[in-house]
């Protein structure tokens, strides 16, 4: 689950990380009131669950409360990367000397959390990561020992942070680490962490991803979910109890079982395709669940072929076939569909699909090859 900037920063503040004074507003007049309270010079920040708001014009520094209202009006009318702006954060404007990047995430390859920092923080950090990765300093954290003080100091040295800020920087690193662990986050990021002209550090932006599988033990965080702002496709999937993750490829995958779904994606890639999604319809998936899954896959304009890989155990292949057929009744689609059905009631399932102009496959390899070929046809 993604948190908004204002939510992330409030959490950071609980862990002792300094943040600017400010509040969130849903209307321009509210924004003006907050700006008045803060003395007029404020930054108006769109609250949408995507990065790159600054570059998209969704962050504006206002010199007066009147200007704050104008900017809020404009920003509240914007759409950023397809997401409408429904709220703005009105923060006291900061006098920035330097922008630093600081983040903690999971390094799966190292099987550890990794703390990353760069003196070249700010809106160009992705570019920095691509063109000069050596400017990003990384330190792995032993999850049992936690972040050690010497590691925070090593990072401070690595990014050439002036010594007068080391103590505060170490406190912020500790606060970020505690945020990451105690919230079951998969990402806790401050970009930029700034050195202010007033000679101290402050988190100007905040981004957090919380592990969905841990939300059951964080009722307070679960409540922060902003359904309006999430990719609607994933909200839809959650409603039907489907595990769905959108990806950038062209082959939609509908699979029962998470492990099989991963294997399917691997095989698709092995034969030169790119999966458009991860989707686990679960065991014993009913036909309306399958229909919902198909609607979701087809709503992605990148999808050029769909691969159904169903290993019938608890899930009955005939039930899946009925789901596909009922979904196809609603949604007319010319997208080629390749089906591999094996296991419980496979024969019956295949019979049901025989008239539906689907491409059948004997094995997963065969299905992957046919799907890839279909995207090229």
CB of 65 to ligand GDP, least distance (A): 15
Question: Which residue's structure tokens are 């050690």?
Answer: 148
How many Å separate Cα 59 from the centre of its chain?
A: 20
- Among 99, 205, 318, 319, interactor with Mn ion by CB under 5 A: 205
* DSSP assignment of 183-222: TTEEEEEEEEEEEETTS-EEE---EEEE-GGGGGG-HHHH
Q: Which of 15, 101, 180, 240 is catalytic?
A: 101
47 binding partner (options ligand GDP, Mn ion, none; Cβ < 5 to 8 Å by kind): none
Q: Which residue is nearest to Mn ion (CB)?
A: 205
Q: Which residue is nearest to ligand GDP (CB)?
A: 54
Note if 180 is an active site residue.
no
The token pair at 119 is 């003196």
CB of 70 to ligand GDP, least distance (A): 17
- Binding residues for Mn ion restricted to 140-199, rule: CB under 5 A: 191
The token pair at 262 is 């991963």
Residue 192, interface with ligand GDP (CB under 6 A)? yes
Distances (CA, A) of 236 to 227, 241, 294, 297, 299: 10, 9, 12, 11, 11
The answer to whether the bond into 165 is cis (omega within 30° of 0) is: no
- Binding residues for ligand GDP restricted to 299-328, rule: CB under 6 A: none
Binding mask 204-243 for ligand GDP (x = CB under 6 A): xx--------------------------------------
Q: Where does this chain touch ligand GDP (CB under 6 A) — which range of 49-57, 144-152, 172-180, 275-283?
A: 49-57
- Binding residues for ligand GDP restricted to 18-47, rule: CB under 6 A: 43, 45
In angstroms, rounded to a whole number, what is the distance separating the alpha carbons of residues 201 and 243?
40
Note if 165 is an active site residue.
no
CB of 17 to ligand GDP, least distance (A): 15
Question: Which residue's structure tokens are 């491409």?
Answer: 359
The token pair at 157 is 């040295």
Yes or no: say if 161 and 120 are a contact pair by the CB < 8 Å rule. Answer: no
Residue 122, interface with ligand GDP (CB under 6 A)? yes
What is the DSSP secondary structure assignment for residue 275, as one 8-state letter? B
Burial of 172 (0-12, 13-18, 19+ CB in 10 A): buried
Closer residue to ligand GDP, CB minimum distance, 6 or 311:
6
Q: Where does this chain touch ligand GDP (CB under 6 A) — which range of 54-62, 285-293, 297-305, 317-325?
A: 54-62
Residue 59, interface with ligand GDP (CB under 6 A)? yes
What is the DSSP secondary structure assignment for residue 122, as one 8-state letter? S
In angstroms, rounded to a whole number, what is the distance separating the alpha carbons of residues 270 and 368?
9
CB of 60 to ligand GDP, least distance (A): 9
99 binding partner (options Mn ion, ligand GDP, none; Cβ < 5 to 8 Å by kind): ligand GDP
3-state secondary structure 32-66: HHHHHHCCCCEEEEECCCCCCCCCCCCEEEECCHH
Give how many residues touch ligand GDP by CB under 6 A. Answer: 19
Write phi, then psi, for 342 (nearest 5 degrees). Answer: -140, 155
61 binding partner (options Mn ion, ligand GDP, none; Cβ < 5 to 8 Å by kind): ligand GDP
96 binding partner (options Mn ion, ligand GDP, none; Cβ < 5 to 8 Å by kind): ligand GDP
Interacting residue ranges for ligand GDP, rule: CB under 6 A: 43, 45, 51-54, 59, 61, 91, 93-94, 96, 99, 122-123, 191-192, 204-205
Interacting residue ranges for Mn ion, rule: CB under 5 A: 191, 205
């Amino acid at each position: 689950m993604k948190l908004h900037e204002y939510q992330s920063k409030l959490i950071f503040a609980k862990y002792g990380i300094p943040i600017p004074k400010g509040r969130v507003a849903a209307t321009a007049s509210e924004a003006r009131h907050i700006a008045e309270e803060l003395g007029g010079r404020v930054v108006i920040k769109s609250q949408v669950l995507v990065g790159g708001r600054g570059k998209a014009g969704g962050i504006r520094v206002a010199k007066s409360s009147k200007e704050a209202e104008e900017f809020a009006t404009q920003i509240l009318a914007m759409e950023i990367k397809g997401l409408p702006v429904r709220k703005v954060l009105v923060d006291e404007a900061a006098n920035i000397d330097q922008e630093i990047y600081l983040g903690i995430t999971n390094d799966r390859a190292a099987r550890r959390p990794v703390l990353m920092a760069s003196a070249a923080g700010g809106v160009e950090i992705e570019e920095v990561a691509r063109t000069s990765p050596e400017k990003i300093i990384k330190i792995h954290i032993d999850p049992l020992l936690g972040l050690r003080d010497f590691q925070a100091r090593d990072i401070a040295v690595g990014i050439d942070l002036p010594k007068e800020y080391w103590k505060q920087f170490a406190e912020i690193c500790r606060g970020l680490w505690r945020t990451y662990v105690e919230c079951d986050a998969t990402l806790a990021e401050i970009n930029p962490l700034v050195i202010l002209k007033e000679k101290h550090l402050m988190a100007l932006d905040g981004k957090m991803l919380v592990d969905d599988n841990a939300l059951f033990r964080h009722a307070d965080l679960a409540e922060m979910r902003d359904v309006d702002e999430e990719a609607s496709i994933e909200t839809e999937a959650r409603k039907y109890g489907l595990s769905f993750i959108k990806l950038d490829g062209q082959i939609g995958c509908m699979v029962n079982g998470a492990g099989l779904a991963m294997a399917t994606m691997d095989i698709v890639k092995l034969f030169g395709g790119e999966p458009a999604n991860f989707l686990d319809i679960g065991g014993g998936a009913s036909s309306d669940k399958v229909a919902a899954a198909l609607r979701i896959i087809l709503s992605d304009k990148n999808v050029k072929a769909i691969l159904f890989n169903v290993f019938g155990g608890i899930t009955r292949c005939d039930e899946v076939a009925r789901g596909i057929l009922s979904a196809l009744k609603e949604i007319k689609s010319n997208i080629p569909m390749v089906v591999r059905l094996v296991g419980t009631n496979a024969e019956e399932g295949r019979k049901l699909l025989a008239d539906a102009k689907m491409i059948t496959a004997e094995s997963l390899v065969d299905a992957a090859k046919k799907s890839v070929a279909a995207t090229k046809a």
